[in-house]
Amino acid sequence: MPILTQNTAIFPETLFEPGGVDAPGRTWWVLYTKSRQEKAVARQLAGYGLPFYLPLVPKDHLIRGRVVRSQVPLFAGYVFLLGTDQERIAALTTNRVAHVLVVDDDEQLWMDLRQVHQLIASNAPLTVERRLAPGQRVRVKQGALCGIEGTVLARRRAPRLLVAVSMLQQGVSVAIDDYMLEPVS
């Protein structure tokens, strides 16, 4: 039996659906949290009714000979808030946010986060990639990840599709076969 209930990773659940959240006057803010405070910030934002996204992925730990599965933040230290300037200030009152990053291109971040959300929902094993390097842009043309755009990485002789969150200069990658990809012009 779990000690805590399942963490809320997205609020509202319809955040990435068309018309899922009333966004007039709202922009994306990237909250850089104090160490290991991402889930606590997410719980408080949900309590305030503020739209946010905290990408969580499962991770197995071996504790006293038992495998324990927990949900860990995909991007350690970051929570994405969709709100007004007043809602950003409310997020700062949690006393768990160290710094707020301003987002220059809301549409690009919206698209990046939507693709990361789709990758997590596919239950594919993901690898966090740091400090992105430029490469060939591609789009997945079939399968569960159809429509996702990213950059191809060659790593350990297995082609990987990298989906980037440009704002953070980080991303996630997933192993994928070449025949499922098509170049983006």
pLDDT of residue 175: 87
- Please say if the pLDDT value at position 156 is more than 70: no
Q: Over the chain, what is the mean pLDDT? A: 88
> Is 90 exceeded by the pLDDT of residue 49?
yes
- How is the chain split into domains, by residue range? 1-103, 124-185
Element (H, E) at 114: helix 106-121
Which residues have a Cβ under 8 Å from the Cβ of 128 and sit 6 or more positions away?
74, 75, 170, 171, 172
pTM for the model stands at 0.85
Q: What is the CATH number of domain 124-185?
A: 2.30.30
Q: Does 158 have pLDDT greater than 90?
A: no
Could you read off the pLDDT of 19-38 as tens digits, one per residue?
888 778 899 999 999 999 99
Cα distance between residue 84 and residue 86, in whole Å: 5
Query: Domain 1-103: which CATH class?
Result: alpha beta
Alpha carbons 78 and 143: distance in angstroms, whole number:
30
